[in-house]
Chains A and B, each alone.
Chain A
Amino acid sequence: MPADFNWAIGGEAGDGIDSTGKIFAQALSRAGRHVFTSKDFASRIRGGYTAYKVRTAVDPVQSVVDRLDVLIALTPRTIKENHDELHEGSVIIYDGERTTMENVEIPDGMVGLDVPLKRLAEEAGGAIMRNVVALGAACAVADFPIENLDSALEKRFGSKGQSLVENNKEAARSGRDYVGSEYHNEFDYSLETTDADYVLLNGDEAIGMGAIAAGCKFYAGYPITPATNVMEYLTGRIEQFGGHVLQAEDELSAINIALGAARAGARAMTATSGPGIDLMTETFGLIGTSETPLVIADVMRSGPSTGMPTKQEQGDLNMLLYGGHGEIPRFVVAPTTIAECFWKTVEAFNLAEKYQTPVYLAADLAMAVTERTFSPETFDMDDVEIERGKVVDESTIDQWQNEKSQFQPHALTDDGISPRAFPGTTGGAHMSTGLEHDELGRRTEDTDMRVEQVDKRTRKVETARREEDLTPRSFGSEDAPNLVISWGSNEGAMVEAMSILDERGIDVHFLSVPYLFPRYNLTEAIDEAETVIAVECNATGQFANVIEHDALSRVNRVNKYDGVRFKADELASKIEQTIDTASSAGTNEETETTEITQ
């Protein structure tokens, strides 16, 4: 029996796929099992193919794999779409009484369970519950006690009345019983439950929760897939902590509203995706040169232009590192897991205020819309520390005034960081501007002051390199001959790939890099490894280019840009293949680019 169990429900958008999948994931989580979910979805409200996949095990799971054990197929296309992931003995639950599914062909070697989902749902109180009947059937196949579904059903339907909850419980049981009586529960699965308590959340929610934890009071945004969930999460919650969410007319406005809130002293943020970053880049230079702390989350999706809005990519790195005319000091911080979406958001606010710079939080779709279980202590709020940097008040402001008692918001300092006075502070009245300015924040074209201000802003980066711990997350032995470097959400798949590679006798050291600028110097690690591979979800190897530039050394590349995240088993094979090719070439001079496509 495999240690993990892989389940999916697929159908058309509008079929309730998401909420059904979420109920099952929640039931597993509440039963003390680890869960990792993923979604296949299209940018449309109805129709098209959509699926919600759940991988579960007693041990932590942090990736998807190329395997499906049980599939609830509401449409024939669902079977086709998942054909490669289904295996000998996979169970396909479908409703043969549904017109489109009447003549559906179950692939050879797989088990088709024809369950009259709609009819059983009607008997339990309404056809709308057919997915819940399917969940009950899946529980029977997986030998997962149906009682575990109950609390998830309560959570989902409780606000709509107890009778609806009871009907759903009955629907689930009718699905279970049907499978029991017609198919005698002869399946090779048994989902063990434990006493562990887990929370189940996605990356967007983790970013939103991190913002509140960090004391963010103001969010301005414009809806865009896959970042909208950050805004939806904060709406209704941030108000309870004295904050506000504003939906702006566009991203140009959203970032300027957030900028205004930050000028007023509030911890402020916005979140968007690539097309929104394009627009926000207009204001990026102003944020940098007016030295305003602001957190901008880019939940990346497939580009360019409108690209594939519901598909994974890490294609915005160049823009985040270099976007905007002129030279703008910034932080680019990329969370590598859903939990890190929380912690890096907290840190982003500290960095923004400490250094008075814009901070890009580079998340990506694969973790933004994916849920994963964690122990609640992972998000221990007592560990949240707030650093506000050089904020001055009425008692200290005179230290930063000139001989005319004028406050100097851009005072030249050794560490590059100037004092900050919130509006309303007596004696602190000052302006700032996107024009080059003097220490008072007034326009200047004086050549000396220009150079001094540029140098001052640039010194912040040097200060950060000195003061911040930019060490990458390290997995495996540092002495391993093979070094894999990656960033963003690939971490989970890579960590699981390492176990697979280990079984195949391949020893890998993995560095998962969260700080993309300023960043840790990887030169030594690269020089010491025999084979170096950069793994990322884009076509041109944007991070590989950066580290080649830093280390003055060529690296091998594994790139994926078909819109689908890395899967652990697939990634392991590609790493193995790349190492083989590189070592047969015998030298690090000739490097390999491996592209993964479906």
Chain B
Amino acid sequence: MSSDVRFTDFKSDKQPTWCPGCGDFGTMNGMMKALANTGNNPDNTFIVAGIGCSGKIGTYMHSYALHGVHGRALPVGTGVKLANPELEVMVAGGDGDGYSIGAGHFVHAVRRNVDMSYIVMDNRIYGLTKGQASPTSREDFETSTTPEGPQQPPVNPLALALASGGTFIAQSFSTDAQRHAEIVQKAIEHDGFGFVNVFSPCVTFNDVDTYDYFRDSLVDVAESGHDPTDYDAAKGKILDAEKEYQGVLWQNESAVAYDQKHSITQDMSAVDSGAPDGAMDLVREFY
């Protein structure tokens, strides 16, 4: 791909309507940088966006894109990638989209391990509907629909991914621009399903999981010499409820992606002008 692609080429001429200060700005910038750094361009890139504030990302980026049904972004991305493996497919959504209404698809997309990336803007709140509990909200987080908090433990998306056989599990912070872009780039480069949970704070409705909170509590695993190919070490950090980690926590480099296992290498968009050669053999099978 041409080396003169700049990350701003992935920016559309539509101005985001996210609240000033929203974490999604930083998340999106990192995605664009990572796409440009990996040699992609808008014409070979397909973004699938979920529903919610984060789902608007398809409009603000310039690429081929589909903004679909709430919770079903991963299946769409799966179909796009398998029908044309030459495309760079990136699925983006929020914590509600991915871990609540789409939780079933998350588990299966992780275990299917199609070669694409999944970027979740996790703000631990439902923003677009103006502040209800999300699947990653804290147990005592008071909202309009949960006045005493959800009273159920939050989903641990990294643990869910690990238990589902994830091959690339990472976490980043939208405002740590360089690290975030680096981590997303690694997810793109991973031969398989590259999953990044991005802390992407909501400045309007979440006064608990704020920029300050993440800045104070985040521990970058790169600084402690974490080896992401060490399963036990990865498991230990992913299940550690006391800390919030940034970085690539787990990567299975020997896993083979679904597309490779099924030898899917060709763009399937071409169709013959009539029935394909050999189709009459199908009829003869019924003798």
Question: Do A423 and B80 touch (CB < 8 A)?
Answer: yes
Query: Which residues of B are found within 8 Å of A508, using beta-carbon distances?
Result: none
Q: Do B287 and A260 touch across chains, with their CB atoms under 8 A apart?
A: no
A258 and chain B: residue at smallest CB distance:
B79
CB A271 to nearest CB in B, in angstroms, measures 15
Q: Which residues of chain A have C-beta atoms less than 8 A from B108's C-beta?
A: 248-249, 253
CB-contacts of A497-517 with B (<8 A)? none
Contacts of B82 in A (CB 8 A): 218, 244, 246, 257, 260-261
Do the beta carbons of B63 and A215 come within 8 Å of each other? no
Pick from B206-214, B215-223, B273-281 the stretch touching chain A: B273-281
- In the complex where A215-B272, A252-B75, A256-B79 touch, is A425 in contact with B286 (Cβ < 8 A)? no
B192 CB–A CB distance under 8 Å: no
Question: For the complex, what is the distance from the CA of A388 to the CA of B62, rounded to whole Å?
Answer: 26
Bound together, the chains give a CA A265 to CA B280 distance in angstroms of 25
A200 at the interface (CB under 8 A from B): yes
CA distance A246 to B259 in the complex (A): 11
Residues in B neighbouring A382, C-beta threshold 8 A: 274-275
A379 to B86, CA, bound (A): 34
Name the CB-closest residue of B to A243: B268
Across the interface, do B276 and A428 meet the contact criterion of CB distance under 8 Å? Answer: no
Whether the Cβ atoms of A253 and B75 lie closer than 8 Å is yes
CB pair B65 A217 closer than 8 Å: no
Q: Is A160 positioned at the interface, with any CB of B under 8 Å from its CB?
A: no
B68 touches A286 (CB 8 A): yes
User: Is A388 a contact partner of B271 (Cβ separation < 8 A)?
Assistant: yes
Interface residues of A in 225-246 (CB under 8 A from B): 237, 240-244, 246
Q: Is the CB of B181 closer than 8 A to any CB of chain A?
A: no
Residue B232, interface by CB 8 Å: no
Q: Give Cα A260 to B81, complex, Å.
A: 8
Q: Do B268 and A265 have beta carbons less than 8 Å apart?
A: yes
Residue of A264, A388, A430, A432 near B83 (CB, 8 A) is A264
Interface contact A259-B64, CB-CB below 8 Å: no
Q: How distant is the Cα of A442 from the Cα of B61 in the complex, in angstroms?
A: 11
A263 contacts B59, C-beta separation under 8 Å: no
Q: Which residue of A lies closest to B108 (CB)?
A: A249
Given the interface pairs A200-B286, A384-B274, A424-B267, the reply to whether A433 lies near B67 with Cβ below 8 Å is: yes
Q: Do A433 and B274 touch across chains, with their CB atoms under 8 A apart?
A: no
Chain A nearest CB from B261 CB (Å) reads: 11
What is the interface of chain B mostly: helix, strand, loop, or mixed?
mixed
B69 and A248 contacting across the interface, CB-CB below 8 Å: no
Which one of B65, B67, B104, B287 lies within 8 Å of A30 (CB-CB)? B287
Identify which of residues 278-309 in chain A touch chain B, using a CB-to-CB cut-off of 8 Å: 282-283, 286, 290
Question: Does A552 make an interface contact (CB < 8 A)?
Answer: no
Partner of A209, one of B13, B75, B80, B282: B282
Q: Using known A-B contacts A205-B286, A386-B271, determine if residue A434 contacts B68 with beta carbons closer than 8 Å.
A: yes
Contacts of A459 in B (CB 8 A): none
Number of interface residues of B (CB under 8 A): 58
Contact digits for B237-264, partner A, Cβ 8 Å, 1 yes 0 no: 0000000000000000000000000101
B42: A residues at CB distance < 8 A: 429
Tell me the smallest distance from the CB of B106 to a CB of chain A, in Å: 10
A40 within 8 A of B: no
Report whether B79 and A434 are in contact in the complex, using a CB–CB cutoff of 8 Å: no
Expressed in whole angstroms, the Cα–Cα distance for A262 and B47 within the complex equals: 15
Interface check A268, CB cutoff 8 A: yes
Measured CB to CB, the nearest residue on chain B to A245 is: B262
Within 8 A of A (CB), among B73-115: 74-84, 86-87, 104-105, 107-108
CB distance from A262 to the nearest CB of B (A): 7
Closest chain B residue, CB of each to CB of A215: B271
B186 at the binding interface (Cβ < 8 Å): no
Chain A residue contacts of B74, Cβ below 8 A: 253
Which residue of the partner chain B has the closest CB to A208?
Answer: B282
25 of the cross-chain contacts (CB-CB < 8 Å) are A199-B284, A199-B286, A200-B286, A209-B283, A212-B275, A212-B282, A213-B282, A217-B83, A249-B105, A252-B72, A255-B75, A256-B69, A259-B66, A260-B48, A260-B78, A260-B83, A261-B79, A265-B84, A290-B68, A381-B279, A381-B283, A384-B274, A425-B43, A432-B65, A432-B66
Interface set of A (CB-CB < 8 Å, partner B): 29-30, 197-201, 205, 209, 212-215, 217-218, 220, 237, 240-244, 246, 248-250, 252-268, 282-283, 286, 290, 376, 379, 381-382, 384-386, 388, 404, 422-435, 442-443
Q: In the complex, given contacts A252-B72, A290-B68, what are 6 additional A-B residue pairs having Cβ atoms less than 8 angstroms apart?
A: A260-B78, A260-B81, A261-B83, A264-B84, A265-B269, A423-B46
B interface residues, Cβ below 8 angstroms from A: 13-14, 42-48, 58-59, 62-69, 71-72, 74-84, 86-87, 104-105, 107-108, 262, 264, 266-269, 271-276, 278-280, 282-284, 286-287
Q: Which 4 A-B pairs have the closest CB atoms?
A: A260-B79, A265-B269, A256-B75, A215-B271
